[in-house]
Structure formats: structure tokens, C-alpha cells
């Protein structure tokens, strides 16, 4: 169910006679098979991060990305941080040549 929703959003609709219709699950299965979409999502996510990294340093998006907000130490296990999730995805996708 989740995979179908995500794939529909990523693939978009089909234009038929000047009207847009959504793709059905059968069409999505023909395109992608029954494969796991998580690697595809990870790569799309990393492509977006690479795009944002190339933005001019004066724009707000890159300032937020590079900011390091002050934090107080919390008790217990450390929370997952955004950048550590990015590093995990880079390792899972086996990306070695990054700039």
C-alpha cells in the first residue's frame, strides 16, 4: 500500500486525451516488478541532497543544511541525526565518489 502510493507520486499520472489519470497498481508492477523501492528512494534522496549542496551559500536552504543548532545533552541513547542518516544511506548505496 505504501509502496504503491510512493510510486504513484514519483511516477506521476498518464496523459490520455488531454486528461490526466493516475497509474494503477498493475501498471506500477509492470514498470518496477515486485522489487523493493527503498534503494530507489535512497538514491533519489541522495540526488536531492547533492542538488542542495550545489546551491549558492547565501540561500536559506544551504544555511539551514549547514547550520549546527545548539543542543543540550539528553539522557539515554543519542537520537538519530539527519546527517548520520545521510551517511548511512551513502554507505548502503555504496557511493564512493562524492564531492
Question: In this predicted structure, what is the pLDDT of residue 51?
Answer: 81
CA neighbours within 13 Å on the CB side: how many for 49? 17
pLDDT at 18 over 80: yes
Question: In this predicted structure, what is the pLDDT of residue 16?
Answer: 81
CA neighbours within 13 Å on the CB side: how many for 48? 10
Contact 50, 44 (CB under 8 A): no
Residue where the block lists cell 497509474: 23
Under the banding of pLDDT at 50, 70 and 90, the label for residue 98 is low
pLDDT tens string 26-71? 877 777 776 677 777 788 888 888 888 788 888 888 787 777 766 6
Task: Indicate the pTM of the whole model.
Answer: 0.51
pLDDT at 92 over 70: yes
Alpha helix positions (H), 1-99: 2-11, 25-32, 38-53, 60-66, 82-92
Amino acid at each position: 500500500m505504501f509502496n504503491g502510493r510512493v510510486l504513484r507520486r514519483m511516477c506521476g499520472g498518464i496523459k490520455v486525451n488531454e486528461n490526466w489519470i493516475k497509474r494503477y497498481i498493475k501498471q506500477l508492477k509492470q514498470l518496477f516488478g515486485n522489487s523493493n523501492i527503498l534503494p530507489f528512494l535512497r538514491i533519489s534522496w541522495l540526488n536531492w541532497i547533492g542538488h542542495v549542496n550545489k546551491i549558492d551559500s547565501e540561500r536559506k536552504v544551504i544555511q539551514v543544511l549547514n547550520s549546527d543548532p545548539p543542543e543540550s545533552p539528553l539522557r539515554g541513547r543519542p537520537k538519530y541525526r539527519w546527517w548520520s542518516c545521510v551517511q548511512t544511506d551513502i554507505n548502503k548505496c555504496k557511493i564512493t565518489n562524492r564531492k
